[in-house]
Structure 1
């Protein structure tokens, strides 16, 4: 029998093998071909939009502005004006390279690379299929674009704003300064609902081979593949929740195979030069094994899986349009080389709303990076800030943000051996509604001229001081039943067939109050302690969820776990934050005892979040290694239990 028929006969009788080929738009297009050709798989999925940028429009705008350094205000309308295709180029390139082997092996494909224009990419793929004489059915999913439900500009009345993503958490307050559109006209760029898996499943049931999505959630294509393969019911919440976690684990491509891995320094660097991309083998109960093709680089072990599991969570409940996944009892175990099984996920009906990502033109931003060498560095930066503020005077009130990031960047070496090791830099970050306002920062610096402190200099590249337009993010929620999700096939004549409704979840369940607690039964250790870096005993990962930052860390043994859960309280988290802590930050904490992990969400620390965060690490990716670098006192008896 051919590969297609062998696969059809196996459906539901063995775990389905789902290979991810992309975690964001910059992953090489060739990874799709590698996943298809290096071994047996049943589905290829790809996430080209990435949680860190959230909206498909953002991807287009960032590529056109930040990478090509052209005016974003014009590029925001590029797709509408017919000057940009709207879909992700690497998704198209991957399909061009892989379409024959996809057809030969009978692999089914679901990608969110349609971005702003899934219809356009689907038509292009259908034409490619026809040109190459292949027998593949192509369709796209519509319904995520909700710009029509908003006014052209962001409302100046908070009561007219869509409900904020954190609005049901009474402990979280949204400061007015995070809503500059209340004072200025700021046009909406994009507004997309996160779509679930049901539309993709319906397409598979109708015979689709290649499905092009817009803003479906990162894990939806993976869920859909397993849902279709195992013929789950839409009320099989445990199974759907287990597969949601499988999708979460492989959606970021190499993040589970060695990329962004906190423990990389304990292994040969050769392993991490070119990590392969992951595969999820999903059983009929929703549990999974995370693996990869044998011939690819990187590695998969309990620690790489725990790191990715803890990435971009919002506590112990992972929300999706088709289910809620409860992670309290999640367990991971190695079952072979580069094979880790994940079990223990419990599911419940989904919430009645889904995430609604709204991006708008936030005005203009700039940053100045200024260097200081050597002696009396702190006093030098204090003097510079006083000089600039003196020149700016009353115009400071016209800025939305003006930060002389007072923690400075770097610390001069003691008894330095080179000038570079004696040099630090100050980051001045500013945002304003108009370009003219921001220009005053560079003008003020120019007026200081030769009045600067001793040891002052700047790099040759001063372009970041030039104001550039940026997009700002407003994370909201939207009623699922108000979304019209449809499957539309492109036939052999390049005509669109009649839309097929994907329907809505049969049942919803509101999310209960978010859980947050310190450990129930802390353990006290006697004896001496030793001061070490937290990272000497714990691995971790951090990431962003809009204006919030998540941070999970874990250890290796029972004794280390007793210490970690007892030590890492919410109050301790604030102490470790040091000068970065603010009274307005709300901190949630939960535990995952079967993987020896403590997880935190720090609300508000990323400001407005995503592209408009004023933090140097606006996506929170470096936060985990900052905390791991802090010195802590650990009992000797715990350290003797094997340092990881």
Structure 2
């Protein structure tokens, strides 16, 4: 579009596959926007129909690509995301009238198919819209060639660049067992170049597959402002703007550590965010006034700290340095984000490989009241004894016994006295996995006192699971293209965009404790209290790892937080969750008073196959906030005043 003085208004319409199509329509209807973007492939919760178990929710990282891949290749799935198509159906007319551009990754495995279907609707309605699609991310037909045929040639794991990081057992087993653990999807994270080219050449709707989550936003801003490929500061600012709005309602009140300062009605039927990106790359995060929710420096900072790798945020077209990022309230529901610096991107990009990891199942059994620990110890001993007797105990890849919750002392009701044991198992052999339920059944009448559970044990029926291998691949290996469908639909103009013109190595991630610790005695009298009484936080999954950002509001609180929250302190706060093979990286973002950590290892082979209950790492930050440590008394009781100040915005 070329340079313009006005900021481009980019509205997000989805952060996961279940987000309904009405979000796209609402973003178009309830105010003026220039571009609508949607991220459907970060789908964390997915409804999956299983012949044995009916409908269940699968919590997975981007695994909706993999879940649908086999059905798509059998001709039993369209390949695109249904809620994306739902939004397009609802929104085409208003998008046409308001001349709004639409860029979404809901094409999933079949962006061409969704683009053609969209073009058919455009034609049938007589609308003046040009449809295009981006391709080049799906590398399934080349998967084994890319991965290599020998140990030395095997594609590098994303985390192996760090010599301190250990990969969980069996991470690379699929590379040696291609028959038993076949790859089902292999998708590279594409950047902005195809999308930008399409917009430059007049496309109104660009349907993508696996592009990096923020790429549609960066591309839209670059098109609008006419940025050059090497305007890295501006591109980096747009990258962070995209990161801030890509997760649906996460900046308008959802997944927000400070939600307790708001009334419940404020948290219902939340609208989605908008980024107003200026020519210099700075942005305002806001929302439509007519839609529910709220945007303030805290909701934005929490989302900023979500799923980071440190102070350098990577995209296929730019690296964003957020060391000195600033997040400031400007007015009600308007937050300015500035201070982002850019640099050339790496020559590589992420390659998400999903493969059949085997079978898994789980059982939940409840205990009430007295001697719960001994009851669960008995249940575990019974199962292990029987499985060993049958000669299969050592054939499980994972057999984990997890005590969830602790009974209340002198409980007020039976539920307050009840907790459950989650028994989780994985094995490559379905028959081995099936032995868990059989071993439990043989002991069912030898149960501990007061045993009870759900009467439905379908979760104990073995089902296939997908495991995740995050690799890196050279962008030179990709054939990223934009394909513009002619208005008549009689031809498609394809342009291969090529890799970035300039790149540089990623470099080592920062890892340090604070360089100038404060004297803790100067903060006065302390009390044992939850960290959450003074700090907000956000956490999330990064493949096998969990990230955590913790921040405070005042300079004095910051001097205390940066001194106290060391790598050793986080390890201590993790309690028995910590395992000696884990590894921690730590860095600081001074302007937003945040300490950031990455804990390598807790999610195993990624959330789609993780044994832990919090497989997405979302609860980790709240767990750490609930841990008690010595906090200066003058910092406590802040949330009452915080609620009052928020109400005045």
Q: Same fold (TM over 0.5)?
A: yes
- Shift in Å, 1:525: 2.7
Give the match for residue 97 of structure 2.
104
Q: 2:42 aligns with which of 40, 50, 58?
A: 50
Indicate if the aligned counterparts of 1:518 and 1:570 stay in contact, CA closer than 8 A: yes
Is the alpha carbon distance of 1:295 and 1:223 closer, same or farther for their aligned partners in structure 2, counting shifts above 3 Å? same
Counterpart-to-counterpart distance in 1, 2:356 and 2:615? 18
C-alpha distance after superposition, 1:498-553 (max 9, x if no partner):
31122221111001111100001011132321111110100000000100100001
- Shift in Å, 1:159: 3.1
Counterpart-to-counterpart distance in 2, 1:641 and 1:259? 21
Q: 1:121 aligns with which of 114, 119, 123?
A: 114
C-alpha distance after superposition, 1:542-586 (max 9, x if no partner):
000100100001111110000000000000000000000011111
C-alpha distance after superposition, 1:183-223 (max 9, x if no partner):
64211110000000111000001100000000001100000
Give the match for residue 4 of structure 2.
12
Give the match for residue 514 of structure 2.
519
Q: Does 1:532 pair with 2:539?
A: no
Range that drifts further, 346-355 or 156-165? 156-165
- Shift in Å, 1:422: 0.9
Indicate if the aligned counterparts of 1:330 and 1:345 stay in contact, CA closer than 8 A: yes
**Normalized against structure 2, the TM-score is what?**
0.93
Q: 1:179 aligns with which of 169, 172, 180?
A: 172
C-alpha distance after superposition, 1:64-100 (max 9, x if no partner):
9987369999965211121100001111110111101
Aligned residues: 629
Is the alpha carbon distance of 1:467 and 1:156 closer, same or farther for their aligned partners in structure 2, counting shifts above 3 Å? farther
Q: Does 1:168 pair with 2:161?
A: yes
Counterpart-to-counterpart distance in 2, 1:564 and 1:67? 47
Counterpart-to-counterpart distance in 1, 2:18 and 2:146? 30
Question: Secondary structure of 1:334's partner?
Answer: strand
Q: Does 1:285 pair with 2:292?
A: no
Q: 1:210 aligns with which of 190, 193, 205?
A: 205
Counterpart-to-counterpart distance in 1, 2:313 and 2:54? 33
C-alpha distance after superposition, 1:98-130 (max 9, x if no partner):
101101111011000000000000000000000
Question: Secondary structure of 1:618's partner?
Answer: coil
Indicate if the aligned counterparts of 1:194 and 1:354 stay in contact, CA closer than 8 A: yes
Is the alpha carbon distance of 1:347 and 1:365 closer, same or farther for their aligned partners in structure 2, counting shifts above 3 Å? same
Q: 2:456 aligns with which of 458, 461, 464?
A: 461
Counterpart-to-counterpart distance in 1, 2:168 and 2:358? 18
Question: Secondary structure of 1:176's partner?
Answer: coil
Counterpart-to-counterpart distance in 2, 1:20 and 1:64? 34
What does 1:315-334 align with in structure 2 at a 5 Å threshold?
315-334=310-329
Q: Does 1:354 pair with 2:341?
A: no
Counterpart-to-counterpart distance in 2, 1:559 and 1:628? 19
Q: Does 1:568 pair with 2:560?
A: no
Question: Secondary structure of 1:371's partner?
Answer: strand
Is the alpha carbon distance of 1:69 and 1:309 closer, same or farther for their aligned partners in structure 2, counting shifts above 3 Å? closer
Counterpart-to-counterpart distance in 2, 1:154 and 1:415? 58
Give the match for residue 232 of structure 2.
237
Range that drifts further, 173-182 or 10-19? 173-182
Indicate if the aligned counterparts of 1:48 and 1:88 stay in contact, CA closer than 8 A: yes
- Shift in Å, 1:425: 0.3
- Shift in Å, 1:152: 9.4
Counterpart-to-counterpart distance in 1, 2:283 and 2:491? 37
Question: Secondary structure of 2:482's partner?
Answer: strand
Q: Does 1:605 pair with 2:577?
A: no
Q: Does 1:90 pair with 2:83?
A: yes
Question: Secondary structure of 2:400's partner?
Answer: strand
C-alpha distance after superposition, 1:277-299 (max 9, x if no partner):
00000000101000000011110
Indicate if the aligned counterparts of 2:48 and 2:56 stay in contact, CA closer than 8 A: no
Q: 1:271 aligns with which of 252, 266, 286?
A: 266
Counterpart-to-counterpart distance in 2, 1:65 and 1:252? 32
Q: Does 1:68 pair with 2:65?
A: no
Counterpart-to-counterpart distance in 2, 1:183 and 1:429? 25
Is the alpha carbon distance of 1:80 and 1:102 closer, same or farther for their aligned partners in structure 2, counting shifts above 3 Å? same
> Which structure 1 residue ranges, 5 or more long, are not aligned?
1-7, 54-58
**Normalized against structure 1, the TM-score is what?**
0.94
Give the match for residue 401 of structure 2.
404
Counterpart-to-counterpart distance in 1, 2:570 and 2:328? 28
Q: Does 1:200 pair with 2:195?
A: yes
Counterpart-to-counterpart distance in 2, 1:495 and 1:623? 52
Indicate if the aligned counterparts of 1:280 and 1:291 stay in contact, CA closer than 8 A: yes
Give the match for residue 475 of structure 1.
470
Is the alpha carbon distance of 1:67 and 1:545 closer, same or farther for their aligned partners in structure 2, counting shifts above 3 Å? farther
Indicate if the aligned counterparts of 1:154 and 1:360 stay in contact, CA closer than 8 A: no
- Shift in Å, 1:147: 1.2
Q: 2:586 aligns with which of 589, 592, 615?
A: 589
Counterpart-to-counterpart distance in 1, 2:263 and 2:19? 23
> Which structure 2 residue ranges, 5 or more long, are not aligned?
59-63, 643-649
Give the match for residue 552 of structure 1.
549
Indicate if the aligned counterparts of 1:589 and 1:599 stay in contact, CA closer than 8 A: yes
Q: Does 1:614 pair with 2:605?
A: no
Range that drifts further, 68-77 or 267-276? 68-77
Is the alpha carbon distance of 1:491 and 1:257 closer, same or farther for their aligned partners in structure 2, counting shifts above 3 Å? same
Indicate if the aligned counterparts of 1:60 and 1:86 stay in contact, CA closer than 8 A: no
Is the alpha carbon distance of 1:248 and 1:65 closer, same or farther for their aligned partners in structure 2, counting shifts above 3 Å? farther
Give the match for residue 371 of structure 1.
366
C-alpha distance after superposition, 1:129-152 (max 9, x if no partner):
000000110010010001122239
- Shift in Å, 1:167: 1.7
Give the match for residue 645 of structure 2.
none
Q: 2:32 aligns with which of 37, 40, 43?
A: 40
Counterpart-to-counterpart distance in 1, 2:222 and 2:606? 33
Give the match for residue 72 of structure 2.
79
Q: Does 1:439 pair with 2:422?
A: no
Indicate if the aligned counterparts of 2:138 and 2:186 stay in contact, CA closer than 8 A: yes
Question: Secondary structure of 1:150's partner?
Answer: helix
